[in-house]
Structures are given as C-alpha cells and as structure tokens.
Structure 1
C-alpha cells in the first residue's frame, strides 16, 4: 500500500470516513454523526442509486427465510426500530420515506400449505400472526385469486421506498454535521505504521482516523487492499411496477414465488427474479413475463393494470452466506459492513447503530454482531 507523502493535499478530514452511499453506508454515516463524531461519506454515484435503490423496500423480518437464528434476530431487532427511526429521519431531513405499516399477507391455496405456513409462523413465541380464511382474505384483498383459500397475516411487517430512505439517512447525517461527497470514487487505502490514515479518491485525498467500507460489490477491492479476502458476488434481481385500476392494493402480498408491494399513486412493485453471477442491469422479456404471470396468478387484476416501468439491481451476496459487520483484521482503524444480499434495507438500522457503537470501542458481542465478525467467518470457513 502507498504511504501518504508530506506534500499531499488533504481536501477533507474526518474522524470517520464511510465509503459507500447505499442504504448501509448512509445508515452508518447517520448513526456515527448522531454520536457527535465528525463524518464524511463518499459515494461513487449518488446515494441510493445502486443496489439499494433497486430494492422493493420490504422490512420482512418474519416473512423472509434466513440462513440462521443470528441473522433472523438481527433482522427483527432492526425492523422493530424503524418506526422511531423513520420519525427521526423525516424530522431531520424533511424527506418522506413513504413508510407503510399495513402488514404482509402470505396467501395459500391448500390446507396443507396453510398448515405448513401457520406452523412456521408460530415457531417463535414473539410472533403474533393471524389466520385469515377465504372470506376474510377476499374482504381484505378485493380481487385475490379465487383459488386462494386463506392467508397468514403478519401485522408487524412494514415497507418503504429505499431511495427515499437513503436520501433521508444522508440528509439527516448532513444536518448532524456529516459531509456527503457524491460522485467520488474511493480508489486506495493509505496506511502508515499499520494504521489507516486516509483514502485516495478520484477527487483527491481524504484523511481520517477510521475507515468504514460499506460499498456493496465495490468493496472487494478495498478489502483486498486491507489484506482481508471476503468474496462477494452479484445476484441480479429484476422488478416491474404497474398501476392498478379501481381500488388500490392495501397489503403487501408475500407469496413463495412473488411479492406485490403497494406504493403511492396506486402503484404496485412486483419482484423479483434471482439470477446469480450476472453483472448487467437489463430486464429481459423472460424475466418480465415471469414476474407478471406469477403476480397475476395471485391478483388477476394485474392483467388490466397500466405498465409503469421496469428495473434491475445487483444484490451483493457474500460467498460466506452472511454479512460481515466488524473490524477488518490486521489493519488498525479499518471496518466493514458488506454482504447484506437482499436484506440491506431491513438490516440497515441495526447495522448502522452497531457500527457506530463499535467505532466508539463497544464490544461486538455486547452489540449483537459477534457472529458477523471476521473470527466467526474464519471459523466457519475451516
């Protein structure tokens, strides 16, 4: 790694330098600035324009299937903090994240499927799902497929607009004193005596005491520079938005093979495909046809809806199967929060809050993130 020369011009300095302006990086910048520490956030494009902006914004801590109980607990903790977080972000930033609390509905077409879903929904004591029969489901969701004989309703599940969340995080961080540098690409960590002292970017040198790498797929290069090999790979997800006629969809429909997420102006966001190791962001005809067919199978009036737009994003999946949240080993002052895959929006609150505590010297176990550390990842790879 290069060392900084004494004649180098410093164009910015902060105690904490956050690399990445997606939902994870923006959350970290907000939580660190909230602790009263000087903060700079660097984003290669604009906050929320990457994988975060392509998400549907579901805070599906109960509906989602997680690889282990640690990740599930982190997700639940994060989701439960969102109502208060949203109030604070909107107050500080003036940006509405379009937070919706109507809950999620998981429909089924057979008694066996319903019993399976009900059993899974009641595995934890803190769950409070409701069983809707066919009559109740049809009353709550007009136009639902007639073959649906019931549904599991989860009232705690919420959703929002991810791009707006990123802007709210960044805006609130700015109000709290952070500086946001958009269109700034972090190229090289700068180290002196085994400790990071700054980052070289395409716009100049930024000095700092601590660096937090949170740039999604772009993070691998900087992690490799730090001597920490943590492979990430893209999982392409395609989505489509339509505008329903007549009455709007009130609840998020979260089925096994599709989700329909209601937004403002009668829009419904439908997603998503899951295509690993693809780097393009094109929406294919096959992908679009599949999404619309599966959506219409649950809500037939999707066929009469107006087309709004399509998009695709690249989810940063970790080869290790779980996100890394913690100190990067072997180089003092370097931290990372990467590999959140399809749950970046959901996990953003807990990740940002935990990282802010870690930077102040709190213990990872105390913060609830010890199982996402380099030690745990190393153990699991043996």
Structure 2
C-alpha cells in the first residue's frame, strides 16, 4: 500500500478519530470518551440523519430470530445493556431517547403457525417467551383482526427513538470531552510507515493515533484506500407514521410481514419495506399502500388513523452476511465497524463497547466477535 501524506498542518488532533455519525459511530464516540480518550467524530451531514435516523428503533434481539449464534448473542448482550445505557445517556446529555419497555408481540392466525413460532422461540432458550391465547390477546390489545388466535409475547424486547438515541450518544460524548464535527467529509486516510496518522477531510487535516471507520455505505471507499474490500449493498427501507384516533397501541407488534411500533403523542410507526440495490430515499405510492394494507390486516383501526409522514433510509447490507468489527489487517491503527444492516440501533451499544475494548488491547475472541473480525472476513472471501 502506498504511503499517503498531507501537505497541510493539522487543524485538530485526538487519540481516536471516528468517521461516521450514525448510531454506530456515535456509540463509539460515547464509549471512547467514557474511557477518557481524546476523541473526534467527523460526519459529512448531521449525526443521526442517515440510515440510523430512518430506523424505527426496535431492539429486537429475540423477535429478529438470528440464525448466527454469535450474532444472536451479540444482539442479546447489546439489548440487555440498554436500560443502564439509557440512564447514563439521558443523565449526561439531557436528551430523552423515549425508551419503551412494554415488550413485543408476534401474532399468528393458526395453531400450526403459532406452534412453529413457539418452538423457534423456545429453541433459543434465553428469554422465556409467553404464549398469549386469543382471550389474553384481546384483553391486552383490543381491536386486533378477528382471525388472530394468539401471539408470542417477549417481555425483554424494547424500543427507542433512533434519532434521539444518536443525539443522546453524541451529547453524552461531548459532555465527556469528545468533539463532534458535523458537515465534515472524510476524504483520505493518511498513512506513514504502515500506520495511520490522520485523516484528510474537506475541512482540513486531522491528526490521530487511531481511526475507526463507521460510515455505513460510504465506508467502502475508505477501506479500499488501505487495501481492504468489504462490499456493502444499499437496501432501501420505507416507513410511515400515523396517528391512531383512540386507544393508543401499547405493545410493539412484530409480525412476519410488518411491524407496528407505538411512539409518543399517540403516533404509530409502520415499517418497513426492503428494496435491495436502490439508492434513492423516495417513498413510492405502491410501498405506502402495501405498508398500510399489511398493518390494517393485523390492526384494522389503522384504516381510520390520521396520516403524519413517510420516510426512507438506505441500510448497509454486508455481502459477507454479518457486520465487520475490529482492526483492519495491513495497516496499524485502523479499525472498522460497518455492515450492521437493519440492526444498527440494536447492536450500537455492544459495538461501541467492543471497539473501546479492542483499542485497550482486548482480543476479538474474548469479546465474542471472532466471526466479525476483518481478518476472518478477509480469509473467508479468498
């Protein structure tokens, strides 16, 4: 790899420079600052305005039914850390993340479907799900479609406001001494004698000892500069927010074809489509019709709701099928945390904590992320 030098003096210096202000980069900034390390985060727009801000904020470690055991454990560890994390972030930042703990409900319309879901839930042997029959379900969630005969209830599943979470992460990081540079595009990693020494941005040069690349889809360009290929595909996700007229939904409904996520002010967020290889953030009429039709099939009174807004985001789906977290082989001081796809909010806490531990000398094996390591992913791609 050729040496890359900068001609301009540094306009800023920190031990750690994080590229990307989504929920992953913001979490890393918080955890690094919490460790007392000088930290700068650069984000080309405003933290939380990209894919992270377009999420609906579910911490669905069990409902998602991960098939990869290592990823499943990582997800549970991250979700279970959120109650304490939320207390710390809200105390430091003064930002409410709108944390809700009522739990998730996965409804079904046949005994066979219910038994299949129950067996899958029990096989995880972790969170002790509860079977709600039609009577219990009618008591808990009035107004569900009449063909729904039961549901699996998971009490440990929680949810937050993703945009507020990003604000809380960055706000807490700043309180702990970090610097957040919005509107700053990272252009080039600067390497000398096989070690990173800074980042050239459109605002100038920042010197540092470590760089953590956490810029979602934009990360591929920077990783290629240090000889590491990690393809990411954009997957557009569209959602819609409505306001229910009466009886706000208490529990998050997590069905096969749709999820209905209750928020403050009687809002209900409905999502989401999954459209691979699309780069625009427009919401089509067809997608909107599909979301509302699937939502009202489970909860008919959605048809009487008031429309609020629609939005879309581009999820970074890894071709490798799992996130990439750890030191990048071939150059010292460069780390990566990308490819979280539709689970960035859920995995943010554990990812930020893992990166902080790696920079203190911990190994990927002891952190339970061997399968996510760039070295392992690089070997598997050969």
Report the TM-score range of the alignment, normalised by the length of the smaller protein.
over 0.9
Deviation at 1:371, TM superposition (A): 1.4
Q: Structure 1 residue 317: deviation in Å? A: 0.4
Separation in 1, partners of 2:104, 2:20: 30
1:244 corresponds to: 244
Which 5+ residue runs of structure 2 have no aligned equivalent? none
Q: How do residues 37-48 of structure 1 correspond to structure 2 at under 5 angstroms?
A: 37-48=37-48
User: Distance between the aligned counterparts of 2:138 and 2:167, measured in 1?
Assistant: 37
Task: Report Cα offsets for 1:171-218 as digits up to 9, x if no partner.
Answer: 000000000000100000111111100000010000000000000001
Structure-1 residue corresponding to 2:105: 105
What is the deviation of 1:126? Answer: 1.9
Q: Give the C-alpha shift of residue 67 in structure 1.
A: 3.9
1:203 corresponds in structure 2 to 203
Post-superposition offset of 1:2: 5.8
Alignment partner, residue 322 of structure 1? 322
Of 128-137 and 366-375, deviating more is: 366-375
Count the aligned residue pairs.
381
1:91 aligns with 2:94: no
Counterpart Cα distance in 1 of 2:18 and 2:40: 6
Compare 363-372 and 177-186 and name the one that shifted more: 363-372
Hey, what's the Cα distance between the residues in 2 that align with 1:67 and 1:42? 34
- Residue aligned with 2:53, SS: helix
1:376 to partner: Cα distance: 2.0
State whether structure 2 residue 166 is matched by structure 1 residue 166: yes
Instruction: After TM superposition, give the deviation of residue 56 of structure 1 in Å.
Output: 0.5
Any conservation in 1 of the 2:4–2:189 contact (CA below 8 Å)? no
Q: Deviations over 1:108-145 (max 9, x none)?
A: 00000010011011012222111101011111111111
Q: TM-score, normalised by structure 2?
A: 0.98
Tell me what 1:214 maps to: 214
Partner residue in 1 for 2:256: 256
Distance in 1 between residues matched to 2:280 and 2:136, nearest whole Å: 42
Partner of 1:362: 362
Question: RMSD value over aligned CA atoms?
Answer: 0.9
Shift of 1:369: 1.4
- Distance, in Å, in 1 between the alignment partners of 2:132 and 2:3 is 62
Secondary structure of 2:265's counterpart equals helix
Where do residues 1-382 of structure 1 align in structure 2 (5 Å cutoff)? 3-5=4-6, 8-382=8-382
Query: C-alpha deviations, 1:85-125, integer Å up to 9, x for none?
Result: 00000000000000000000000000000100110110122
Q: Secondary structure of 1:142's partner?
A: coil
Unmatched runs of 5 consecutive residues or more in structure 1: none
SS at match of 2:135: helix
In the TM superposition, residue 66 of structure 1 has moved relative to its aligned partner by 2.0
Q: Is the 8 A contact 2:244 2:305 kept in 1?
A: yes
Instruction: Give the TM-score normalised by the residue count of structure 1.
Output: 0.98
